[in-house]
Amino acid sequence: MSDVLIIKTNECGIRKTVNELLEHFPLKVKDKRILIKPNILGPFPPERGVTTSPEVVRAVLDAVIDMGAREIWVGDNPGIGGYGANLKAGVISGITNATGKYFTNIGEEVVRIPVRSRYVKSVVFSKYVVDADIIINLPRFKTHNLTQLTGAIKNTFGYIAGGMKSWLHTRGRTSREFSELIVDIYARRVPDLTIVDGLTAMEGRGPSNGRLRHLGILMASYDGVACDYTIARMMGTKPNSIFQIKYASKTGLFSPENVRIKGDYTELEDFEMPTISSPIISYIANHLVFPHIYPKPVVNEERCINCGNCQTICPTNAMEQFPHINYDRCIKCYCCQETCPQDAVELKGFIYEILKRR
């Protein structure tokens, strides 16, 4: 069985809750090398609710220290800025301060490894991912404009170092293709434990520009896909409509029949999923003409501060004569929207606007 445990908590009870989760899902940490892998999408302060809460990361770190780990690394490969972004994002997210000497720039050393996927033959992983005896995955409870939700599976996209993340968007161009690709990456090194930070949830335009919603939970499982399955149900959507979960089930990585949810489970009322992931849009986009149905990113020049994040992250160099977008090159991966710190990239389209009202 794939047990998923959800515990109600608050900021004062995080350490106690983490200890309870680790009692339910024990790990043989003593004398092992441990990678604690939070979601550090980019240089977003904690109050934005984009990155894993520093308090959650610290609580997990303290528990691992107490269990006698030989070596501990805390780190991620942010989506913004490539190899050099790790330290800046760590500081602004509050995770560097929370973890001190254990925070590691895991993008400095990389290893190319083969992957079983119809999209790529190999990927570049952080060497710390390969060297870790145990990986503790710490995603945040959020929606995602491209993959519908970002949880345990999507957080392992942070195994990928440097600019290869952007390039991978050119390999999996649709929501379905990219979702399948990240499942292939997840399967290459499945985390040993996933603890989902659900102190606040993000709905709507995730993963960085959605609305925050208080949840007050932590969720854990040995089976990260089971966590994503549970998140989907809590969001009020059918798990099988999430391409990541559907593909993981199809490949035998996950079995929905084996999921057993325990603890403080509740379905959230009127939770807003990204409009792009609605069944109507998904059906039309994936069965008719993807490039003409999916909305295009448009820069709101009044909000734009010319930081250059979108230009740096774009996998096809579609952002030219900044902030003009060359739509002949744009593949609608929405990396620009995802990484914009000012919410200056909006998704627009005639058909998109009509379907959004339904």
Predicted local distance difference test score (pLDDT) of residue 266: 97
Q: Minimum mean pLDDT among 8-22, 157-171, 245-259: which range?
A: 157-171
Q: How far is CA 160 from CA 30, 173, 284, 358, in A?
A: 27, 17, 31, 37
Q: What is the mean pLDDT of residues 267-274?
A: 95
Q: Is 141 a residue whose pLDDT tops 90?
A: yes
Mean pLDDT of the chain: 90
In this prediction, residues 287-308 reach a mean pLDDT of 74
In 264-310 the beta strands, taken as DSSP E runs, fall at 296-299
Contact 205, 145 (CB under 8 A): yes
Write down the pLDDT at residue 336. Answer: 86
Residue 153 near residue 301 (C-beta atoms within 8 A): no
User: What domains, with CATH codes, occur in the chain?
Assistant: 2-263 (3.40.50), 278-356 (3.30.70.20)
pLDDT at 292: 53
The string of pLDDT tens digits covering residues 211-251 is 999 999 999 999 999 999 999 999 999 999 999 999 999 99
Q: What is the pLDDT of residue 295?
A: 76
Convert the pLDDT of each residue in 34-76 to its tens digit. Answer: 999 999 999 999 999 999 999 999 999 999 999 999 999 999 9
Could you give phi then psi for residue 201, rounded to 5 degrees? -105, 160
pTM of the complete model: 0.85
